[in-house]
């Protein structure tokens, strides 16, 4: 899906924005095809002389449109690449992912977790599920796992979910601590 969003300052210099058009990209997602779609959107809204810059990923920049790379997208790719170089962290995150999946696929498990949260006086939060394409969803998942450490350790003694070692819990704490400033930047 390709969207055409406009941004402008109002008379008080507050940022305003609106989505003018969305189009499905058919065929190959090549820079030239995406460029043609964007040009078609600009022409259909009669904004040919009013577009100053296109904010996009690297592929569009290569299409020859006056464009600026998306800082958030570039940052996302950089952090994700950095995380995948840490084998122990990647393995620990995979265990967190299995735990989150366990609770998201079972209402009985989720109910048991809620009971433990209540007994242990923990916040009644779910274990967030991460999404492959967003490093910050992994951050939120690991943060939610850490928040619910006591409930998860108690749950694991009687149920089939991965049990983290003390070293893995420490690794998660350190990873969340290191990534917290990155998440603040992204937000």
Tens of pLDDT, residues 68-116: 666 767 777 777 777 778 889 989 999 999 999 999 999 999 999 999 9
Confidence of residue 137 (pLDDT cuts 50, 70, 90): confident
- Residue 138: its pLDDT value, please? 87
* Res 30: pLDDT: 76
Q: What is the rounded CA–CA span in Å between residue 45 and residue 119?
A: 58
Shared domain for 103 and 168, answered yes or no, is: yes
Structure tokens at 78: 């950089």
Residues 110 and 145 in one domain: yes
Q: In this structure, are 29 and 106 located in the same domain?
A: no
Could you say which of 35, 69, 103 is where a domain stops? 69
The pLDDT of residue 168 is: 96
The per-residue pLDDT for 56 is 65
User: Are 108 and 170 in a shared domain?
Assistant: yes
Residue 20, φ and ψ in degrees, nearest 5: -90, -30
Same domain, 107 and 56: no
Q: Are residues 61 and 117 in the same domain?
A: no
Q: Please, what is the average pLDDT of the chain? A: 85
pTM for the model stands at 0.65
Q: Are 74 and 33 in contact (CB under 8 A)?
A: no
Do 144 and 55 sit in the same domain of this protein? no
Residue finishing a domain among 69, 96, 122: 69
- State both tokens at 127: 């274990």
**57 and 93 belong to one structural domain:** no
d(CA 137, CA 86): 17
* 27 and 113 assigned to the same domain: no
Alpha carbon 87 to its chain centroid, in Å, reads 20
Answer with the residue of higher pLDDT: 169 or 64: 169
Provide the domain limits for residue 116. 76-186
Domain boundary at 69, 103, 120, which?
69
Q: Are residues 63 and 113 in the same domain?
A: no
What is the per-residue pLDDT for 107?
A: 94
Predicted confidence at residue 171, as pLDDT, reads 94
Total structural domains within the chain: 2
Both 80 and 64 in a single domain?
no
| Residue 21 shares a structural domain with residue 87 | no
């Amino acid at each position: 899906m390709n969207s055409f969003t406009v941004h402008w300052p109002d008379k008080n210099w507050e940022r305003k924005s609106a989505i003018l058009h969305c189009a499905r990209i058919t065929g190959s997602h090549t820079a030239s095809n995406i460029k043609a779609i964007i040009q078609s959107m600009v022409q259909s809204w009669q904004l040919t002389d009013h577009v100053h810059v296109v904010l996009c990923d690297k592929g569009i920049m290569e299409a020859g449109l006056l464009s600026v790379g998306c800082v958030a997208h570039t940052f996302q790719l950089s952090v994700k690449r950095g995380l995948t170089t840490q084998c122990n962290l990647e393995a620990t995150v995979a265990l967190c992912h299995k735990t989150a999946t366990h609770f998201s696929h079972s209402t009985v498990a989720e109910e048991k977790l809620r009971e433990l949260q209540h007994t242990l006086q923990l916040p009644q939060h779910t274990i967030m599920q991460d999404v492959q394409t967003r490093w910050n969803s992994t951050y939120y998942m690991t943060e939610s796992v850490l928040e619910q450490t006591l409930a998860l350790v108690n749950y694991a003694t009687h149920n089939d979910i991965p049990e983290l070692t003390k070293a893995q819990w420490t690794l998660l704490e350190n990873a969340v601590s290191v990534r917290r400033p990155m998440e603040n930047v992204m937000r």
